[in-house]
Amino acid sequence: MSHLAKHLSAANHGGCLASAHGVPPVAANGTAMPASVCDPDRSPQGEAPPERLRLSRLRRRLKQRGLDALLVTQPENRRYLSGYTALDHGINESAGVLLIPAEGHPYLLTDGRYRLQAAEEAPDYQVRVYRQGLFALLRRLFNTLEPQRLAFESHYLLHSVYGSLEKLAGEKGLELVPFTDLVETQRQVKSQAELELIAEAVRLNEEVFTRVYRQLRPGVSEQETAWQIEDTMRRLGAEGPSFPTIVAAGPNGAKPHAVPTARKIAAGEPVIIDMGLRLDGYCSDMTRTVVLGQPDARTLALIRLVRQAQLAGQQALRAGVSGRFVDQVARRVIAQAGYGDYFGHGLGHGVGLNVHEAPNLSHRNRKKLRSGMVLTVEPGVYLPDWGGVRLENMAVVTDEGCRILNRDTTFLDV
């Protein structure tokens, strides 16, 4: 067996292939294995921009549902369909919306601040600048397009904005059709290009973790550690964190989404570090539970238990099973050890342009997972007045199982 094959064989995490970041799995004989992922963004000629292919797929779905157009307000959906990267300043200050007819030219509607960027980044869209407000422009476009049924993203629309849209629809005799996942469903299966971007975000996130962890010493506060992590992310080229970094030491670790405090990290106590970054729009998310100094027997036992649950979840993760099933497999490990009441969140979630997106690994998700989905596997145990342990990897679902994107093994197998 070659050195490369031995290394890859040893890196097999609980039935899932560990991947060198962005590189397809490799068999024991050193040959490339099929990724078992149907690339949704690849044309037969491989030349069309991915946004054009995504738009074409979406339009087919609009026609199947008898919809004349879709109004896209969710910023990651906007980017996914158009390539336009401008950021919203909250839900009440949008950088633009998409109006996508089932036939004809799609539109990117924005204000004058973004006109040049929109034209550069979304060449397949007609960019229209609203100078008298969005609804004045929509009124003019509806006069031209004459849609009868308009889909809109009800999960990302202020009630006040919906009121204006409803009033306009009444004037035009337009039926409004709410959707919460029309584009999100399409985003769940990643293309090969998306998988490579996510893998690079994971790689950079691990590099940040390694640099900060090597310098971590007792007496540094949770806040200082979180600031150092996010500063290092940016210095190494990330756009920024994909969510506010969690550093939770000692008893604070009993809060799964703890906010870093001025509390100083002590030697010997568990410290949950949950961190992720955004790179070229795509997110990473990783959690490690570390100890500065010598962990006590209880801490070691809980880390080992949570790791067993993680490995069980990774072993169960594959195309064709439900998110509920994978969650149950991992959760059973923790419950049988007597800590079932202290694992209060789902096992994992999808990651892509959003750090939390569909699908989920939880009791609520009875849908079958598909090859090409990217999910976290992150069991945890949280004990009031003591602290917590959470371990999180990211994985790509394949027909054969899953491919672990993480290479870091800090405090995983203690």
Query: Could you read off the pLDDT of 201-247 as tens digits, one per residue?
Result: 999 999 999 999 999 999 999 999 999 999 999 999 999 999 999 99
Give φ, ψ of 180 to 5 degrees. Answer: -115, -10
Which residue, among 225, 249, 226, has the nearest Cα to 386 in the 3D structure? 249
What are the Cα distances from residue 306, in Å, to 282, 330, 392? 27, 9, 10
Please tell me the number of Cα atoms within 13 Å of 388 on its side-chain side. Answer: 26
Per the listing, tokens 């995504």 go with 54
Name residue 377's beta-bridge partners: 393
Domain residue spans in the chain? Answer: 50-186, 189-404
Q: Provide the pLDDT for residue 48.
A: 83
Angle CA(76)–CA(79)–CA(82) in degrees, nearest 5? 150
Q: What is the mean pLDDT for each group of 10 consecutive residues in the chain (414 residues)?
A: 33 50 37 50 71 97 98 98 96 96 97 97 97 96 97 96 97 96 97 98 98 98 98 98 98 98 98 98 98 97 98 98 98 98 98 98 98 98 98 98 98 94
Cβ neighbours, 10 Å, residue 335: 15
Q: Provide the pLDDT for residue 62.
A: 98
Which CATH fold topology does 189-404 show? Creatine Amidinohydrolase (3.90.230)
Q: CB-based contacts of 402: which residues, under 8 Å, 6+ apart?
A: 15, 16, 17, 314, 317, 318, 395, 396
Give yes or no for a contact between 101 and 144, defined as CB atoms under 8 angstroms apart.
no
- Range 333-340, long-range pairs (CB < 8 A, 24+ positions): 333/305, 333/308, 333/309, 333/379, 334/305, 334/306, 334/309, 334/379, 334/381, 337/305, 339/302, 339/305, 339/381
Cis peptide before 251 (omega within 30 of 0): no
Residue 400 CA to chain centroid, in angstroms? 22
Which residue, among 222, 314, 330, 312, has the nearest Cα to 275 in the 3D structure? 222
Which residue, among 75, 25, 65, 7, has the nearest Cα to 399 in the 3D structure? 25
- Determine whether domain 50-186 maps to CATH 3.40.350.10: yes
Q: Provide the pLDDT for residue 47.
A: 72
CA–CA dist 83, 76 (Å, integer): 10
Q: Provide the pLDDT for residue 26.
A: 30
Which residue, among 156, 100, 155, 97, has the nearest Cα to 130 in the 3D structure? 97
Q: Provide the pLDDT for residue 18.
A: 59
pTM: 0.90
CA–CA dist 200, 206 (Å, integer): 10
Q: Provide the pLDDT for residue 24.
A: 44
Structure tokens, 110:
């924005």
Q: Provide the pLDDT for residue 32.
A: 34
